[in-house]
Amino acid sequence: MAGTGLWGYGQYKARIKYENYLSSEYQKAFAKLGQNMEELNTQLGKTMVSSSPLVNILNFDRVWHTANQAHAELNNLPIETPEIMRTAKFLSQTGAFAHMLARNNAEKKPLTSEQRDVIGELRQQATILSNSLKNLQNKVYSGNINWHNIASQGDDAAETGETPIRDGFTKVREELDQYPTLIYDGPFSDHIMETAYNNIKGRQLSSEEAEKIAVELVKQTSVEPADSLKKVTSRAVRGKLPCYSYQYRKDNNVGYTVDLTRAGGKLVTLMSYRDVGEKNIDLEQARDRALSYLAKAGFENMQSTYAEIIDNIAYIPFVYKKDNIIYYSDLINVQIALDNNEILGVEALGYLSAHKERKLPEPVLTKEQAREKGAVNLDQVDSVRLALIPIESTREVLTYEIRGTNQGNTYLIYLNAVTGTEEKILQVIESEKGTFTI
């Protein structure tokens, strides 16, 4: 009996130690979220007063990066409620909007007065969120919030409403909802999200069925699949895209949040954030790794476009390809750690909202005619291919994508495959941080 008692006490001590460890990790994530929100607030303020296009590019790039970091820290918390989703939506839209403005400035498109008004409104919302997080942080320090209890209660806490965290984010949601809908042509545009996700088909899965898929997807993020996972939380998400959301922690202590559609169990987002060490993986290896992971996740016939490297993390967009036509709307973004080739993030909202069977017009222009038209202002034409590109929010047009050079610079010219008119021109930028277009 004494041996049994000692074993039981040892188990108790181990459980307490693990609970304390989890609480510490959640507190770190919450503290980083607060720091990121303060930084985001400051950065948005700088963009409001800057008139230099070069400085604007840097500022908006920082806003985009900080919003992504804040979103990742939010996903690492053991709380999943509609109130949290409103904060997540704000961070996603702010980051995407800033990224679009950075590209606009790179294309020498000055900020409009309407865009400056939107930035002002986003900053006001960032101030609300930052102040609310400070108040919640004070409650944590005073002992009024126990992270382990919140994680253990899960959905019960969300339903009873008996947590300061829920109350705090409810207040945030109510205040943010007073601001007008954000409308622009970015991936998290409200007016696009209102009509999206009608194309997702498949049997309605139970939470248990979807969880089997989620576990496998998280395990496969490592080059050597993880042997076991620690489940943190799970919940059902209502809304325009009904999902199941799960949080796990791998053996290497990296936390993951994965969202799957209830219809068919398709991957919507997979998010993690950690400090990435010294670069050991090149972009080509990262591309191959990401492509292999997407295939395992059920996304076939994908092709990488370009890539950027930030803090030793590769950000690689993939698009759908069928019958030698590139579908740029069917977009999936993947993040890969360049220290060990670990998948850190997948965002498939663009793919899920756009992917469907399309009836495309027959090209009137031939490939050679498109080459000849593109060659007029290019020193050299490197390639010509058909591509369906998005224009004016939800409208798409079939084009010839003509890649070529002029005075040492590389450009992509998009000619309407039916009318021959020029739809868009992008410049390809190659640097140590990867290849991207502006």
Amino acid at 164: P
380-391/325-337 β-pairing = parallel
pLDDT given for residue 213 in this prediction: 95
Residue 146 vs residue 87, higher pLDDT: 87
For residue 275, give every residue at least 6 positions away whose Cβ sits within 8 Å of its Cβ, in sequence order, or none.
none
Run of H or E residues at 232:
strand 229-237
Q: How far is CA 185 from CA 93, 97, 153, 353, 437, in A?
A: 11, 9, 39, 14, 17
Residue 432 vs residue 363, higher pLDDT: 363
Q: What is the mean pLDDT of residues 288-309?
A: 93
- Taking every pair of Cα atoms in the chain, the longest distance, rounded to a whole number of angstroms, is 91
How is residue 74 written in tokens? 């939010």
| pLDDT tens track for 347-387 | 888 888 889 889 999 999 999 999 999 888 899 999 999 99
Give the position of tokens 């740029």: 328
Which of 242-251, 299-308, 381-390 bottoms out in mean pLDDT, i.e. has the lowest? 242-251
For residue 38, give every residue at least 6 positions away whose Cβ sits within 8 Å of its Cβ, in sequence order, or none.
130
Highest mean predicted confidence (pLDDT) among 191-200, 392-401, 426-435: 392-401
Q: What is the mean pLDDT of residues 273-302?
A: 92
Helix (H, G, I), strand (E, B) or coil at 350: helix
Residue 10 vs residue 48, higher pLDDT: 48
**Calculated CA dihedral for residues 338, 339, 341, 342, nearest 10 degrees:** -110
Q: What percent of the chain has pLDDT over 70?
A: 77
Q: What is the mean pLDDT of residues 305-315?
A: 84
State the pLDDT confidence band at 2, using cuts at 50, 70 and 90: very low
- Whether the predicted pLDDT of 83 surpasses 60: no
Q: Find out whether 73 and 29 touch, Cβ atoms under 8 Å.
A: yes
220 vs 227: CA distance, rounded Å: 10
Q: 299: buried, middle or exposed (CB in 10 Å: 19+, 13-18, 0-12)?
A: buried
As a CATH number, domain 367-437 is 3.10.450
State the pLDDT confidence band at 103, using cuts at 50, 70 and 90: confident
172 vs 135: CA distance, rounded Å: 12
Residue 32 vs residue 12, higher pLDDT: 32
pLDDT given for residue 196 in this prediction: 59
pLDDT given for residue 394 in this prediction: 63
Q: What is the DSSP string of 161-193?
A: ---HHHHHHHHHHHHHTTSPPP-SSSTT-HHHH
| pLDDT tens track for 120-159 | 888 988 898 888 888 877 777 776 666 666 655 544 444 4
CA triple 304-308-313, angle to 5 deg: 100
Q: Find out whether 110 and 182 touch, Cβ atoms under 8 Å.
A: no
pLDDT given for residue 94 in this prediction: 86
pLDDT given for residue 10 in this prediction: 44
State the pLDDT confidence band at 341, using cuts at 50, 70 and 90: very high
pLDDT given for residue 16 in this prediction: 42
265 vs 288: CA distance, rounded Å: 24
- Whether the predicted pLDDT of 119 surpasses 80: yes
Q: Please give the model's pTM, rounded to 2 decimal places.
A: 0.64
Measured from the Cβ of residue 361, the count of other Cβ atoms closer than 10 Å reads 10
Cα–chain-centroid distance for residue 342? Answer: 16
Smallest CA-to-CA distance from 328 within 318, 336, 337, 338 is with 318
265 vs 320: CA distance, rounded Å: 19
- Whether the predicted pLDDT of 246 surpasses 70: yes
355 vs 320: CA distance, rounded Å: 8
pLDDT given for residue 4 in this prediction: 42
Highest mean predicted confidence (pLDDT) among 76-80, 231-235, 403-407: 403-407
| pLDDT tens track for 25-82 | 677 778 888 888 899 989 998 888 887 888 888 888 889 888 878 877 776 676 655 5
- Whether the predicted pLDDT of 292 surpasses 90: yes
Q: Find out whether 168 and 157 touch, Cβ atoms under 8 Å.
A: no
Q: What is the DSSP string of 68-96?
A: HHHHHHHHTSS---HHHHHHHHHHHHHHH
Q: 170: buried, middle or exposed (CB in 10 Å: 19+, 13-18, 0-12)?
A: middle
How is residue 193 written in tokens? 């999200």
Q: What is the mean pLDDT of residues 401-409?
A: 93
Amino acid at 239: G
pLDDT given for residue 163 in this prediction: 63
How is residue 43 written in tokens? 């950065």
For residue 239, give every residue at least 6 positions away whose Cβ sits within 8 Å of its Cβ, in sequence order, or none.
82, 85
Half-sphere exposure of 170 (CA within 13 A, CB side): 9
pLDDT given for residue 156 in this prediction: 45
Assign 3-state DSSP to the chain and report helix, strand, coil percentages, each to 5: 45, 25, 30
327 vs 321: CA distance, rounded Å: 6
111 vs 52: CA distance, rounded Å: 10
pLDDT given for residue 155 in this prediction: 44
Q: Find out whether 352 and 268 touch, Cβ atoms under 8 Å.
A: yes
pLDDT given for residue 218 in this prediction: 92
Average pLDDT, the chain: 80
Give the position of tokens 């050299």: 380
Rg of the chain (C-alpha set): 23
